Amino acid sequence: MAIDYYATLGVDRGASDSDIKKAYRRLAQQWHPDVNQEPDAAVRFKEINEAYQVLSDPERRQRYDLFGTVGSEGGTGFGGFADIFDAFFGAAAAGAGRRGRPAAGSDLRYDLRITFEEAILGTVKEIEFPVLARCDTCGGNGAKPGTQPITCPQCNGRGEVRGVRQTMLGQMINVTTCPRCKGDGKIVETPCDTCHGEGRVERRRTLQVTIPPGIDEGHQIRLANEGEAGPRSGPAGSLYVAVHVAPHPTLKREGTELIYEASVGIAQAALGTTILVPTVEGEESVEVKAGTQPGTEIRLRGKGVPYLRRAGQRGDLHVLVDIEVPQRLSREQRAALEAYADASDEIVSEQAGLFDRVIGKKPAPKRSKARRGAAGEPAGSAGGGATTAATPGGASGSADVEDGTAA
Ligand SMILES: [Zn+2]
Ligand SMILES: [Zn+2]
């Protein structure tokens, strides 16, 4: 059941950032467990904090507005009391202000590799990792079963000690973390045998992580409370699953758009054809219309990447059509293209014909095609003749030597 963060902070849905901040400060002061003696103060305080963490972050607020949850992040929670003090009093107060409370556990990072398709379609992955988890023997408080941690006699459970100094300006109160309990406020006299009083033990944890469709390289999924347990019942840290996406052999991704570079022959571009385009759902037949120009883009709507923050919306797959001009021509291909050139009155360069080579004659422009403009070009030069590798052995003559095809 989703929590109404707006109701928690007592603001309406259109509240500005500063309204949210003001409401948060007021409620946090009112419900701070050090101030408020009501039994559910700590719970309320945690809820207020959670609501603020979501609503003060524009991205998470937007997602919450849309989905009523922060979904993929596995809920939010807060990373520990230190975080709250950071947000509330500034980082400097965090250390000294942690009165009578155990420290929070560390956040953990897990690097998860997924395929290109999994990133686009979403998946559920099982991950396993070592973690300092709460000790089951003592329930996390570090005391041997049958015993309890005692209140620290030096600070009376406050976790801090005050010293009073007389100065020129009057009395100065100097507050430091209690050296005896290190700020916990409690002392374990008879430590648990399993965890030696730490309240946590190393264990392997297995989790199912839901990867939302549309996730990309470098995104992180935060799983609150799945990080290290805090020592002696301290709040747990978060687990950050850092997602790494394998590249696709032929598809490129740019945000929500997929790009495929297709290549068709000149005849296919002119006459039309059907090509197979890879999509994350499998290959798809795509029509390349007759008369397609180089650089034409064919768009497959909705075959791209789902928007992470807009359910149901998906980008497109863009097929960029490149037209491949053949670099080598067989005799039949050349004849066909020459016939095409003839039919369309195009002036084309001549190639040294096989017959001319064999008898060692310099190729001469053919009458019908040697129009103005082509006449100045040396026939059979570089692009034309050099690639004819099929010259029969024993050929001689200067033309062959120039062409580098002498056997
Ligand atoms: Zn234990
Ligand atoms: Zn103490």
pLDDT tier, 205 (very low <50, low <70, confident <90, very high otherwise): very high
Q: 78 C-alpha to center of ligand 1: Å? A: 24
Ligand lying closest to the C-alpha of residue 194: 1
Cα(103)–Cα(241) distance, integer angstroms = 23
**217 and 95, same structural domain?**
yes
Ligand lying closest to the C-alpha of residue 229: 1
Q: Taking a C-beta distance cutoff of 8 angstroms, is the pair 184, 152 a contact? A: yes
Q: 394 lies in a domain?
A: no
Ligand lying closest to the C-alpha of residue 133: 1
Percent of the chain scored above 70 by pLDDT? 77
Domain limit, last residue, from 247, 274, 299: 247
Q: 127 lies in a domain?
A: yes
* pLDDT, position 69: 58
Contacts of 324 (CB under 8 A, 6+ apart): 263, 264, 265, 266
Place of tokens 């259109």: 14
Domain limit, last residue, from 247, 269, 287: 247
Which of the two residues, 79 and 338, has the higher pLDDT score? 338
**139 and 91, same structural domain?**
yes
Q: 174 C-alpha to center of ligand 2: Å? A: 15
**166 and 103, same structural domain?**
yes
Ligand lying closest to the C-alpha of residue 142: 1
Assess whether pLDDT exceeds 90 at residue 57.
no
Assess whether pLDDT exceeds 70 at residue 337.
yes
Tell me the per-residue pLDDT of 59-101, one tens digit each, with 9 for 90 and over.
Answer: 888 777 776 655 433 333 333 333 433 333 333 333 444 456 7
Q: 145 C-alpha to center of ligand 1: Å? A: 8
Cα(41)–Cα(151) distance, integer angstroms = 21
Which of the two residues, 81 and 134, has the higher pLDDT score? 134
Ligand lying closest to the C-alpha of residue 140: 1
Q: Taking a C-beta distance cutoff of 8 angstroms, is the pair 101, 184 a contact? A: yes
Q: 49 C-alpha to center of ligand 2: Å? A: 27
**70 and 57, same structural domain?**
yes
Average pLDDT over the chain, rounded to whole?
80
Ligand lying closest to the C-alpha of residue 158: 2
Ligand lying closest to the C-alpha of residue 153: 2
**46 and 168, same structural domain?**
no
**92 and 214, same structural domain?**
yes
Q: What angle do CA 361, 362, 365 make, to 5 degrees?
A: 120
Query: Mean pLDDT across the stretch 42-51?
Result: 86
Q: 263 lies in a domain?
A: yes
Q: 399 lies in a domain?
A: no
* b/e code 29-58 from CB counts within 10 Å (16+ = b): eebbbeeeeeeebbebbbbbbbbbbbbeee
Q: 120 C-alpha to center of ligand 1: Å? A: 43
Q: 395 lies in a domain?
A: no
Q: 187 C-alpha to center of ligand 1: Å? A: 14
Q: What's the burial of 168, exposed, middle or buried (CB within 10 Å: 0-12/13-18/19+)? A: exposed
Q: 161 C-alpha to center of ligand 2: Å? A: 8
3-state secondary structure of 314: strand
Assess whether pLDDT exceeds 60 at residue 240.
yes
Per the structure, how many domains does the chain have?
4
Contacts of 15 (CB under 8 A, 6+ apart): 6, 9, 23, 55
Here the CATH number for the domain that contains residue 10 is: 1.10.287.110
Q: 304 lies in a domain?
A: yes
Tell me the per-residue pLDDT of 267-295, one tens digit each, with 9 for 90 and over.
Answer: 999 999 999 999 999 999 999 999 999 99
Give the structural domain span for 123.
80-247
Task: Give the C-alpha distances (Å, rounded to integers) separating 27 from 30, 44, 51, 151, 176.
Answer: 5, 9, 11, 29, 27
Domain limit, last residue, from 213, 247, 281: 247
**237 and 158, same structural domain?**
yes
**309 and 233, same structural domain?**
no
pLDDT tier, 109 (very low <50, low <70, confident <90, very high otherwise): very high
Q: What's the burial of 142, exposed, middle or buried (CB within 10 Å: 0-12/13-18/19+)? A: buried
Q: 389 lies in a domain?
A: no
* pLDDT, position 154: 92
Q: 181 C-alpha to center of ligand 2: Å? A: 4
**139 and 33, same structural domain?**
no
Assess whether pLDDT exceeds 70 at residue 365.
no
Here the CATH number for the domain that contains residue 183 is: 2.60.260.20
Is the overall model pTM greater than 0.75, yes or no? no
**101 and 67, same structural domain?**
no
Q: 218 C-alpha to center of ligand 2: Å? A: 43
pLDDT tier, 311 (very low <50, low <70, confident <90, very high otherwise): confident
Query: How many residues in total does the chain contain?
Result: 407
Ligand lying closest to the C-alpha of residue 144: 1
**226 and 142, same structural domain?**
yes
Task: Give the C-alpha distances (Å, rounded to integers) separating 305 from 35, 205, 231, 253, 316.
Answer: 49, 32, 42, 8, 7
Q: 385 lies in a domain?
A: no
Q: 147 C-alpha to center of ligand 1: Å? A: 11
Q: What's the burial of 63, exposed, middle or buried (CB within 10 Å: 0-12/13-18/19+)? A: buried
Q: Which residues surround ligand 1, an ion (CB under 5 A)?
A: 135, 137-138, 192, 194-195
Assess whether pLDDT exceeds 60 at residue 379.
no
**96 and 174, same structural domain?**
yes
